[in-house]
Amino acid sequence: MSKIRLGVNIDHVATIRNARGEKYPEPVKAALLTQKCGADSITIHLREDRRHIREIDLKLIKKKIKIPINLEIAATNEMVNIALKYLPNFVCIVPEKRKELTTEGGLNLNYNSGLLKKFIYKLKKKNIRVSLFIEPNINNISKSKNLGADCVELHTGKFCSLVNKNKNYKIIIKKITETSKFAKKIGLEVHAGHGLTYKSAKILKKVKNIKEFNIGHFLISDSIFIGLKKSILKFKKIIR
């Protein structure tokens, strides 16, 4: 089995920073640590409302990081122009709704497909690897290929939610497996992401043909429990 690449999504470092309006924790510091730990890429989602990552973060990360940067963006002129300005190695086009807590589903490839095709063409012309974040089904794979994407990222939210609730996930994992197989057959690289935890990643890594995982929320959350002890001990030393 070939090694699955790990893309670490550091958006939620920025979420914590923004909650207080302070400069810390700095996403660029998290990106440097991620790189040091051997991750294969850094994923950041520059949302239209800038609720976590900001353009300055993208600029700093681009300046300091040597591993590939995977920029997630909505399919808008503004976002594509930002991508063309900073030239990340990878772009993943995602759907975006203002009121959602997180990216709730995959792209609707029937909507504005002409514009999507134009954006993909523009990005690829600058040697940016383009991926489309989609729900796992065969129809979406064929459409992604026709639009000119290099890769697809399968939205694993529904699968992960079933795993978290200890419910039967057989049907959805079968769908992910079949979709991945078809995507590979027609020349699309397959990635997966959204909601992954240790448990769901362990199950999903057995699906053939998935080359890359993008993991954020759980990974940043769990780092609290891996690191909190050290921070408390450091504070105790300072104040006692």
| 103 is a contact residue toward ligand PXP (CB under 6 A) | yes
How many alpha carbons lie under 13 Å from residue 157 in its C-beta half-sphere? Answer: 11
User: Applying CB under 6 A, which part among 60-68, 173-181, 208-216, 225-233 lies near ligand PXP?
Assistant: 208-216
| 214 is a contact residue toward ligand PXP (CB under 6 A) | yes
User: Applying CB under 6 A, which part among 55-63, 162-170, 178-186, 190-198 lies near ligand PXP?
Assistant: 190-198
One of 12, 72, 155, 212 is an active-site residue; which one? Answer: 72
| 194 is a contact residue toward ligand PXP (CB under 6 A) | yes
Answer whether 74's CB lies under 8 Å from 48's CB.
yes
| 8 is a contact residue toward ligand PXP (CB under 6 A) | no
User: Applying CB under 6 A, which part among 30-38, 60-68, 122-130, 216-224 lies near ligand PXP?
Assistant: 216-224
Contacts 24+ apart (CB under 8 A), 17-26: 18/51, 18/52
**Which of 34, 152, 193, 201 touches ligand PXP by CB under 6 A?**
193
Q: Residue 232 class from Cβ within 10 Å (0-12 exposed, 13-18 middle, 19+ buried)?
A: exposed
Nearer of residues 172 and 215 to ligand PXP, judged by Cβ: 215
User: Applying CB under 6 A, which part among 77-85, 113-121, 167-175, 189-197 lies near ligand PXP?
Assistant: 189-197
Q: What is the DSSP letter of 2?
A: P
**Which of 72, 96, 150, 212 touches ligand PXP by CB under 6 A?**
72
Cα distances from 4 to residues 21, 72, 164, 202, 212, in angstroms, run: 36, 20, 22, 12, 5
What is the pairing mode between strands 69-73 and 41-45?
A: parallel
Alpha-carbon torsion angle 94, 98, 102, 106, nearest 10:
-30
One of 12, 52, 191, 194 is an active-site residue; which one? Answer: 194
- Count of residues in contact with ligand PXP, rule CB under 6 A: 19
Q: Which two tokens stand for residue 86?
A: 């900073």
Cβ partners under 8 Å of residue 132, min gap 6: 92, 93, 107, 109, 116, 140, 144, 147, 149, 151, 152, 153
Nearer of residues 91 and 239 to ligand PXP, judged by Cβ: 91
Preceding peptide of 95 cis, ω within 30°: no
Name the minimum Å distance from CB 240 to ligand PXP. Answer: 37
**Which of 46, 58, 69, 94 touches ligand PXP by CB under 6 A?**
94
* Separation between Cα atoms, residue 135 and residue 205, nearest integer Å: 18
| 217 is a contact residue toward ligand PXP (CB under 6 A) | yes
Q: Let me know if 194 is a catalytic residue.
A: yes
Q: Give catalytic residues, as residue numbers.
A: 45, 72, 194
Chain residues binding ligand PXP by CB under 6 A are 9, 11, 45, 72, 92, 94, 102-103, 133, 153, 193-196, 214-218
